Amino acid sequence: MFPALEPGELHVWSARLTPREPILSADEVQRVGGFHSEIHRQRFAAARTILRSLLGNYREIAPSEVEITLGALGKPMVDGLQFNVSHADGLALFAFSLTAAVGVDLEYIRRLPDMAEMSKRCFSVAEQQALAVLPDEERDAAFFRGWTRKEAFLKATGEGIGRGLDYFTVSLDEPARLVHLDHGSSENWTLFHLTVEPGFVGAAAVQQAGTRLLSLQFCDL
């Protein structure tokens, strides 16, 4: 049975972006054609098809009938249902909330030769200091924990990176949390570390305190 989404809950689905019969709008078909790589075309089509399947189940309509509209700051929604999507290396996360802005991010953990420079550009001073004191063998995973949490927060706000990345601070360890926010209260936000497949790290941000997380695995519905 498909789970009901209740106020105060965050549902996060994980899915492999394997080939499947596409269910796409005319705009999405056009976007698929814009990818030069076949694997990128296939993964984008799979992600949109899975998203439509999930949205259709939440709204009890056929996936082909789902109409995605743009809300504040251009964030997509369906009938007030807020959602966000992220994918990396053929794995995807889909996050849904009835009552709050939500963002999700997923990354494959890897060695970054320019990590120190990226940290200076993208992390707050407190985050840079937390990363610098870690043993070298722990630094890659910690960097991507911080990166996904910051990306998830920015995607939830809809502001993007134009405002900068150092006006807020997230934890690099467990538990995931918004440590500091220059404007507004960090207590109004809930951050989650998402356990996904080995080698990946994920995070979700919800503009609501006390949110309950339900992690789910997508299989064709």
Residue 2 lies in a domain: no
Question: Is the per-residue pLDDT at 207 higher than 60?
Answer: yes
pLDDT at 166: 84
Reported as a pLDDT band with limits 50, 70 and 90, residue 159 is confident
Residue 3 lies in a domain: no
How many angstroms separate the Cα of 143 from the Cα of each of 63, 137, 211? 37, 11, 25
More confident residue, 69 or 47: 47
Residue 20 lies in a domain: yes
pLDDT at 150: 96
In this structure, what DSSP letter does residue 161 have? G
Could you tell me the maximum CA-CA distance found in the chain, to the nearest angstrom? 52
Domain count within the chain: 1
Residue 123 lies in a domain: yes
For tokens 């997923």, what's the residue? 106
Buried-exposed string 192-204: b where 16+ CB fall within 10 A, e elsewhere: bbbebeeebbbbb
Residue 51 lies in a domain: yes
Backbone angles phi, psi at 10, to 5 degrees: -125, 120
Q: How many helices and strands, by DSSP H and E, does the chain display?
A: 5, 11
pLDDT at 188: 92
Average pLDDT over residues 55-64: 96
Residue 1 lies in a domain: no
Rg of the chain in Å (alpha carbons): 17
Instruction: Tell me the C-alpha distance between 17 and 43, whole Å.
Output: 5
The residues pairing with 107 across neighbouring beta strands, listed in sequence order, are 201
Q: What is the CATH number of the domain that holds 45?
A: 3.90.470.20
Residue span of the structural domain in which 46 resides: 9-216
Instruction: Tell me the C-alpha distance between 126 and 165, whole Å.
Output: 12
**The two three-digit tokens of residue 94, written as one number:** 């889909």
Instruction: Tell me the C-alpha distance between 173 and 7, whole Å.
Output: 28
Report pLDDT digits (tens) over 135-156. Answer: 999 999 999 999 999 999 999 9
Q: What is the pTM assigned to this prediction?
A: 0.94
Residue 221 lies in a domain: no
Report pLDDT digits (tens) over 66-115. Answer: 999 887 777 888 988 999 999 999 999 999 999 899 999 999 999 999 99
Percentage of residues of the chain with pLDDT beyond 90: 81
